[in-house]
Amino acid sequence: MDLATLKEACSQYKKPTEFKPSYGTAGFRADASVLSSTVFRCGLLMAMRALKTGSVTGLVVTASHNPVEDNGVKLVEPTGYMLDQAWEVWANKLAAADDADDTCAVIQELFQAEDIPYGSGTVMLAHDTRPSADTLVKAAAAGVAAMGSLPIACGLLTTPQLHWMVRQCNARLKHKEKAYFEALATGYARLVSGTQALGEGLVVDCANGVGAAKLQVLADRLAPGMAAELRNTDGAEGRGLNESCGADFLQKERRLPAGFHDVPDGARCASLDGDADRLVYFRRHGSELELFDGDRIAVLAALLVMNILKMLPATEQQAPFTVGIVQTAYANGASTAYIKERLRAEVRLTPTGVKHLHAAAEEFDVGIYFEANGHGTVLFSAALVQRLHELGDESAPAKALLALVDMVNQAVGDALSGVLLVEAALRRKGWGLDQWAALYTDLPSRQLKVKVADRSVVATSHAETRVVSPAGLQLLIDDAVAAAPQGRAFVRPSGTEDVVRVYAEAASRAAADDLARAVARAVHATTAGVGPPP
Ligand SMILES: CC(=O)N[C@H]1[C@@H](OP(=O)(O)O)O[C@H](CO)[C@@H](O)[C@@H]1O
Ligand SMILES: [Mg+2]
Tens of pLDDT, residue by residue over 423-444, are 999 999 999 999 999 999 999 9
Residue 359 has pLDDT above 90, yes or no: yes
CA distance 67 to 63: 8
Residues 200 and 213 in one domain: yes
Give the pLDDT of residue 320: 83
Residues labelled as active-site residues? 64
Annotate 178-210 with b (16+ C-beta within 10 A) or e (fewer).
eebbebbbebbbbbbeeeeebeeebbbbbbbbb
Mean pLDDT, rounded, of the chain: 95
Give the pLDDT of residue 2: 83
Q: Considering the chain, what percentage of its residues have pLDDT values greater than 70?
A: 99
Of 391, 414, 437, the residue that ends a domain is 414
Helix 415-429 vs helix 396-407: angle between axes, to the nearest 10 degrees? 150
**Span 230-238, average pLDDT:** 93
**Span 241-269, average pLDDT:** 96
Helix 3-12 vs helix 133-146: angle between axes, to the nearest 10 degrees? 160
Q: How far is the CA of 272 from the centre of ligand 2 (A)?
A: 8
Which residues 6+ apart lie within 8 Å of 12 measured at CB?
Answer: 40, 142
Of 137, 156, 175, the residue that ends a domain is 156
Which residues form the pocket of ligand 1, taking CB atoms under 6 Å from any ligand atom? 25-26, 64, 330, 352-354, 371, 373, 375, 494-497, 501
Give the pLDDT of residue 199: 81
Residues 128 and 224 in one domain: no
Ligand nearest to the CA of 252: 1
Q: Which of 205, 326, 327 is nearest to 258 (CA)?
A: 205
Residues 116 and 30 in one domain: yes
CA distance 399 to 191: 8
Give the pLDDT of residue 317: 60
Give the pLDDT of residue 24: 87
Residues 278 and 302 in one domain: no
Q: How far is the CA of 388 from the centre of ligand 1 (A)?
A: 35
Burial of 117 per CB tally in 10 Å (0-12, 13-18, 19+): exposed
pTM above 0.90, yes or no: yes
CA distance 460 to 495: 13
CA distance 520 to 501: 8
User: 3-state SS string over 277-341?
Assistant: CCEEEEEEECCEEEEECHHHHHHHHHHHHHHHHHCCCCCCCCCCCCEEEEECCCCCHHHHHHHHH
**Span 253-279, average pLDDT:** 96
**Span 326-348, average pLDDT:** 97
CA distance 445 to 448: 10
Residues 334 and 215 in one domain: no
For the beta carbon of residue 259, count every other beta carbon within 10 angstroms: 18
**Residue 162 placed within a domain:** no
Q: Which of 156, 158, 176 is nearest to 166 (CA)?
A: 176
Please tell me the residue having the least CA distance from ligand 1 atom 17.
353
Residues 258 and 320 in one domain: no
* pLDDT tens-place string over residues 480-519: 999 999 999 999 999 888 899 999 999 999 999 999 999 9
Indicate the range of 171-175, 319-323, 403-407, 523-527 predicted with least confidence: 319-323
Its sign, for the CA torsion 127, 501, 353, 207, is negative
**Residue 475 placed within a domain:** yes
Taking the CA of residue 26 as reference, the ligand 1 atom at the shortest distance is: 14
Cα R_g (the chain), whole angstroms: 23
Q: How far is the CA of 74 from the centre of ligand 2 (A)?
A: 10
Helix 36-53 vs helix 3-12: angle between axes, to the nearest 10 degrees? 150
Q: What is the CATH number of the domain that holds 204?
A: 3.40.120.10
Taking the CA of residue 64 as reference, the ligand 1 atom at the shortest distance is: 15
Please tell me the residue having the least CA distance from ligand 1 atom 2.
373
Give the pLDDT of residue 314: 76
Residues 449 and 487 in one domain: yes
Residues 10 and 136 in one domain: yes
Annotate 56-85 with b (16+ C-beta within 10 A) or e (fewer).
bbbbbbbbbbbebebbbbbbbbbbbbbbbe
Taking the CA of residue 495 as reference, the ligand 1 atom at the shortest distance is: 9
Q: Which of 244, 160, 138, 162 is nearest to 419 (CA)?
A: 160
* pLDDT tens-place string over residues 451-485: 999 999 999 999 999 999 999 999 999 999 999 99
* pLDDT tens-place string over residues 50-77: 999 999 999 999 999 999 999 999 999 9
Of 244, 275, 290, the residue that ends a domain is 290
User: 3-state SS string over 303-321?
Assistant: HHHHHHHHCCCCCCCCCCC
Give the pLDDT of residue 472: 95
CA distance 335 to 207: 26
Q: Length of the chain, please?
A: 534
Q: Which of 316, 309, 397, 398 is nearest to 345 (CA)?
A: 309
Q: What is the CATH number of the domain that holds 383?
A: 3.40.120
Residue 392 has pLDDT above 90, yes or no: no
Taking the CA of residue 354 as reference, the ligand 1 atom at the shortest distance is: 17
**Span 81-101, average pLDDT:** 96
Residue 131 has pLDDT above 80, yes or no: yes
The number of distinct structural domains making up the chain is: 4
Any alpha helices (H) in 147-222, and if so which ranges? 159-170, 177-192, 211-222
* pLDDT tens-place string over residues 7-47: 999 999 999 999 999 998 889 999 999 999 999 999 999 99
For the beta carbon of residue 227, count every other beta carbon within 10 angstroms: 14
Which residues 6+ apart lie within 8 Å of 469 measured at CB?
Answer: 457, 458, 459
Q: Which helix (H) or strand (E) holds 29?
A: strand 28-31
Residue 401 has pLDDT above 90, yes or no: yes
Q: Provide the domain limits for residue 450.
A: 445-527
Residues 53 and 102 in one domain: yes
**Residue 532 placed within a domain:** no
**Residue 168 placed within a domain:** no
Cα–Cα distances (Å) from 395 to 308, 309, 312, 315, in that order, read: 11, 11, 8, 14
Q: What is the CATH number of the domain that holds 491?
A: 3.30.310.50
Give the pLDDT of residue 1: 73
Residues 256 and 344 in one domain: no
Ligand nearest to the CA of 351: 1
What is the biggest distance separating any 2 CA atoms in the chain, rounded to whole angstroms?
66
**Residue 421 placed within a domain:** no
Residues 312 and 392 in one domain: yes
Q: Assign 313 a pLDDT band (cuts: 50, 70, 90).
A: confident
**Residue 178 placed within a domain:** no
Residue 214 has pLDDT above 90, yes or no: yes
**Residue 177 placed within a domain:** no
Q: How far is the CA of 25 from the centre of ligand 1 (A)?
A: 6
Residue 316 has pLDDT above 70, yes or no: no
- ipTM of the complex, rounded to two decimals: 0.98
**Residue 259 placed within a domain:** yes
Residues 488 and 406 in one domain: no
